[in-house]
Structure 1
Amino acid sequence: MSGTTTTLHQDVEIGLVQIRVSQLEHSLDFYQNVVGLKVLRQKSREVEMTADGQNVLLILREIEHAKVLRRNSVAGLYHFAILVPDRPSLGLVLRNLISSGIHVGQGDHLVSEALYIQDPDNNGIEIYRDRPRDSWRHDAEGHVVMSTDPVDVDGLLAASEDLTWSGLPEGTVIGHVHFHVGDLGKAKGFYVDLLGFELTAYYGDAAMFISAGGYHHHIGLNIWAGQGAPAAPEDAAGIDYFTLLLPSEEERAVVVERVRKAGYTVDEVDGAPALRDPWNIGIKLVVKHSL
């Protein structure tokens, strides 16, 4: 696949995520005290949140009286994933989640250790740390070997034993996003064949993982909300868009041209080209140096 002209540059990353929430103050309390993000700036009913005081990782947009949907009921956000820089940091996250009293799911995916929570509007969140890339295994087809095993909770707590929680640390980023879609074949056509991500793994016949540059996955796609699941309504909590960080103006222009040729509308939003996937999930194409 790496020889095709439609493969994304290996340095592509996920930037930020903007989500819709029903009660901004309630969400702010959750994202600051439970998740560990900080407010960078607020404009009306939108708040930009950060870990390092400079880079925006999450934007909360309040929709008054927003519907809160049942989990796994529509195409749209399954979770966005916050990647912390090391294991002690994840241990601190776990300690804070336990003290908050929130329900915490977990999974050891071989390439990573992950914790799962939901925000007050059922928006899914993963907080995880990666194992070193040279420890990742690949199968005969070159796909990354992933699994869902129990996390070594005692080990995580031990790794953070003498540390103090003060929120998510510098070096925290959005590592990946994971969506419910209505059709995996259609999702592959859009994200792989058109945008240029590469397939890294399948999870049974109901989920696939794709990335740029050999990462285990920048995007997860599943049909766990049902084959043919409809797009989330715009007046419901969920995802507005995520940003795709591209290394240069030239790379971005190539992607924009490819998408337009395929018949997709590309609009200008806040100075950046933006498009929507087949389930109305927004994607904003941002050049890294323009951040």
Structure 2
Amino acid sequence: MSDSSGLLPDSSRIGRTALTVGDESAVIDFYRNTVGLEQLTREASTTTLGVDRRSLLEVRYDAAARPRPEDATGLFHNAFRVPSRAALGDALARVRDGWVLTGASDHGVSEALYCTDPEGNGVELYRDRPQEDWPRDDDGSLEIGSWPLDLVDLAAAASDGPVSTVPAETSLGHVHLEVSSLEDACEFYVDTLGFDVMDTSPSAVFLAVGGYHHHLGLNTWHRRSVPPTADHCGLAWFELVVPSSDALETVRRRLEDCGVPVTDRDEGFEIADPDGSTIRLVAES
């Protein structure tokens, strides 16, 4: 299923994400000890975490930040993709050892574990199945399902001893947002920005480029309708990486032609979706 006619290059991907938090220590401890990221840098109010010297998450401390309102749009979850079933089994062991597992699903295209960080931000830990094994409808379109995940079998795939960090190949595979209108969000992310529609489900749409199952999820399950403000905890921004500076400039021109406000940054530029979520666009380094 494809709607955008290749407006984004196939190799575009999600890069990093940033959270505004009120309890920096608790959040950092969670992403280190439970998710398994490494602390890369720590400054007065900003800590970066990632793997193999690659930043995947920026934690921004703001003592005055207020909790995200229950009716506010924003982050549903950040999804960290590990490269193997053994690594997902290791993640399951870490969650069980020091945190609370809130869900586990077999999506056909992937196997996923779910939890929330200390400030209520959703977290998914998942591994992809080989693309040739992804379930498809009779017309060949992707079918992302949700079935129970066999946790006993997954636990048996874990390493023999405790593993405290995710493998070097781990990435931020996708970001899932809660939006106020799927129609408005798809008009922005598909028609304007250039993602492809890969699958739909009741009150949700899954978008990607290059045939991936999804780089971006959108849902209205909790009927959120109010944009968060800059003084709220939660998602500060997420990053979309395109393969070259030429591709970045092409995307920029298209956005400006569509009337989307563009704000320059040293590494690229940023835009906001209809619900106020910030997307930073950069070129592959």
8 Å CA contact 1:184–1:207 kept in 2: the answer is: yes
Structure 1 letter corresponding to 2:48: E
Q: Which residue of 1 aligns with 2:23?
A: 23
SS of the residue 1:121 aligns to: coil
**For 2:98 and 2:160, how far apart are their aligned partners in 1?**
19
What is the alpha-carbon distance in structure 2 between the residues aligned to residue 164 and residue 279 of structure 1? 41
Deviation at 1:225, TM superposition (A): 2.7
- Structure 2 CA distance for partners of 1:183 and 1:2, relative to 1, 3 Å: closer
Q: Which residue of 1 aligns with 2:131?
A: 133
Q: Which residue of 2 aligns with 1:171?
A: 169
Say whether 1:106 aligns with 2:104: yes
Residue 186 of structure 1: which of 177, 180, 184 is its match? Answer: 184
| 1:85-128 deviation digits (Å, cap 9, x = unpaired) | 00000000001110114233111101101011111111111010
Are 1:85 and 2:83 counterparts?
A: yes
Structure 1 residues 20, 142: closer, same or farther in 2, change over 3 A?
farther
**What does residue range 213-224 of structure 1 map to in structure 2 within 5 Å?**
213-224=210-221
Question: Is the aligned partner of 1:56 residue 2:21?
Answer: no
Describe the superposition over 1:17-69 as per-residue Cα deviations: whole angstroms up to 9, x where unpaired: 011111111211111112111110112111010122x1100000012132223
Checking the alignment, whether the CA contact within 8 Å between 1:92 and 1:165 is kept in structure 2 is: yes
Q: 1:245 aligns with which of 241, 244, 256?
A: 241
> 1:142 offset after TM fit, Å?
4.1
Q: Quick check: 1:74–1:225 contact (8 Å CA) kept in 2?
A: no
Q: Determine if contact 2:3/2:196 at 8 Å carries over to the other structure.
A: no
Q: Deviations over 1:150-201 (max 9, x none)?
A: 1110111111151431211110000000000110010110000011100000
Listed as ranges, the gaps of 5+ residues in structure 2 are none
Output the CA distance in 1 between the equivalents of 2:61 and 2:51: 21
Change (3 A) 1:103 1:158: closer
Q: What's the CA shift for 1:7?
A: 2.5
SS of the aligned residue for 1:11 comes to: coil
- Give the match for residue 47 of structure 2: 47
Where 2:147 maps in the other structure, the secondary structure is coil
The answer on whether the counterparts of 1:70 and 1:122 sit within 8 Å (CA) in structure 2 is no
CA-based RMSD of the aligned residues comes to 1.7
Structure 1 position 9, deviation (Å): 1.0
Shift of 1:70: 5.8
Would you say the 8 A contact 2:3–2:197 is kept in 1?
no
Q: In structure 2, do the counterparts of structure 1 residues 144 and 22 end up closer, same or farther at CA, with 3 Å as the change threshold?
A: same
The 1:270–1:141 alpha-carbon spacing in structure 2 relative to 1, beyond 3 Å, is farther
Partner residue of 1:257 out of 247, 253, 259: 253
Distance 2:145 2:136 in 1: 12
Per-residue deviation, 1:4 = 5.8
SS in 2 for 1:193: helix
Tell me, yes or no, if the aligned pair for 1:69 and 1:122 is still in contact at 8 Å: no
* CA distance in 1 between partners of 2:133 and 2:69 (Å): 37
Question: Measured at CA, do residues 161 and 40 of structure 1 come closer, stay the same or move farther in structure 2, by a change above 3 Å?
Answer: closer
Number of equivalenced pairs: 285
CA contact (8 A) 1:97 1:104 kept: no
TM-score, reference length from structure 2: 0.95
Q: CA deviation at 1:279?
A: 1.1
TM-score (norm 1): 0.93
Structure 1 residue ranges without an equivalent (≥5): none
Identity among equivalent pairs (%):
36
Question: Shift of the alpha carbon at 1:15?
Answer: 0.3
Find the aligned partners of 2:116 and 2:4 in 1 and give their Cα distance.
Answer: 38
Query: Aligned partners of 2:211, 2:6: CA distance in 1, in Å?
Result: 15
Contact between 1:94 and 1:157, CA under 8 Å: does it hold in 2? Answer: yes
